[in-house]
Structure 1
Amino acid sequence: MYGTPHIVGDVMTRTVAAVAGHAAFKEIVRLMRDRKVSALPVLDGEGRVVGVVSEADLLPKEEFRDSDPDRYTQLRRRCDLAKAGGLTAEDLMTSPALTTRPDVTLARAARAMAHARVKRLPVVDDRGALAGIVSRADLLKVFQRGDDEIAEEVRREVVTQLFPGPDSAIRVQVHDGVVTLAGRVRDRSLIPVAARLARAVEGVVDVDFALDGHRSPGRVDLSAGRVGPVGPGDRGPGEQ
């Protein structure tokens, strides 16, 4: 639907490999190999996600297998040393798990992944039960939207809302996800707003302007409401 941001439920993988808390170390390794994944949600007896076990959680067992850590390492890497002695998913997992919901927008899920520096998020329902998993690659699926589809949404949700009626004549062109708004506009103070709204459309890579005969690619000052390069003569009172 136009104007509705894509949500996690649109792109997530619904068939997910998972393990119980009592799953043994080698069972976890075999499942990761067979399913070609680098992490597995850990479930309790009712199917709720209680943690995630990843390759990073398994590696300490090999790293410290034949070593005798010094005092500094024991203090600095206490968690890794504990995982080196882990035997089950419950011992090894990172808990509580960072999860998301099917109705969360892709932008919000992307921010959560970036902040936590993780490659995927288990998706849970209202009960906390596993419903799917969403990865970085899944979030990039929005950029597979066609240029025509993006252009139509920009026309409906940006141009029609900000520049209605005969007062403005704005043309929308999209090439490889880059939106160009061209034509004449009476109220140029709306251009930064148009930039924000157009960039918020799923699949948009960048926004360019060719308004009132002035082309301004990538030069929208969103904070000050200006279009074009900001030079020395553009500084306001008190600005350095």
Structure 2
Amino acid sequence: MEVREIMTPNPICCMPNTSLETVARAMVRHDCGEIPVVENEESMRLIGVITDRDIVCRTIAQGKDPMGMTARECMSTPAVTVTPETRLEDCCQVMEDYRIRRVPVADQNGCCCGMVSQADIARRAPTEQAAEVLKEVSQPRNTAEPAMA
């Protein structure tokens, strides 16, 4: 099975100059915890990701006011990605290796074309594989710094 078979296509994206307030509202509206950051609407070239955890750890936890900040100021970059042709097993390994719950999908031009989440894997992958991803991604970190995406 390839990533293209389980990914959520055409995820909501933001640009580096998008306000954190707009990013957070998009997360609520689209019920997601990570939004890909793209260079611009025309190219859709992926340059990073911003998570709900990035916003909390890189703003509020540091005493900064998120209301005047942009995605560029707290996004994780470069983004860890997979391609639509990536085998599901390899995608799971990437998520385990980086301990990330979601991974953006970039095409051969580096354009964001999808997103794979733990939920996508839980719904479509074999039970053992889904359990392994959940277990490995949930391991505690050795640092207080937020993970890459």
TM-score, length basis structure 2 = 0.76
The 8 Å contact of residues 86 and 92 in structure 1, kept in 2 or not, is answered as no
Q: Select the structure of larger CA radius of gyration.
A: 1
Describe the shift of the 1:36–1:115 C-alpha distance in structure 2 as closer, same or farther (beyond 3 A). same
Q: Which structure: greater strand fraction?
A: 1
Other-structure match for 2:135? none
Other-structure match for 2:48? 51
Distance 1:117 1:142 in 2: 18
**Residues 1:117 and 2:99 aligned together:** yes
**Residues 1:98 and 2:96 aligned together:** no
Other-structure match for 2:14? 19
Higher relative contact order (CA 8 A, sep 6+): 2
Distance 2:82 2:55 in 1: 24
Distance 2:101 2:18 in 1: 22
Distance 1:85 1:114 in 2: 33
Aligned letter for 1:13? T
Q: What whole-Å deviation, never above 9, does each CA across 1:14-56 have from its counterpart, x for those lacking one?
A: 1311101110011111111111111100000211110000011
TM-score, length basis structure 1 = 0.48
Q: How many angstroms does 1:85 deviate by?
A: 9.7
Secondary structure at the residue paired with 1:138? helix
Other-structure match for 2:126? 143
**Residue segments in structure 2 that go unaligned for 5+ positions in a row:** 131-149
Q: What whole-Å deviation, never above 9, does each CA across 1:185-204 have from its counterpart, x for those lacking one?
A: xxxxxxxxxxxxxxxxx99x
**Residue segments in structure 1 that go unaligned for 5+ positions in a row:** 1-5, 66-80, 145-176, 178-201, 204-240
Other-structure match for 1:134? 116
Aligned Cα root-mean-square deviation (Å) = 2.4
Distance 2:50 2:68 in 1: 11
Aligned letter for 1:49? L
> How many pairs align?
126
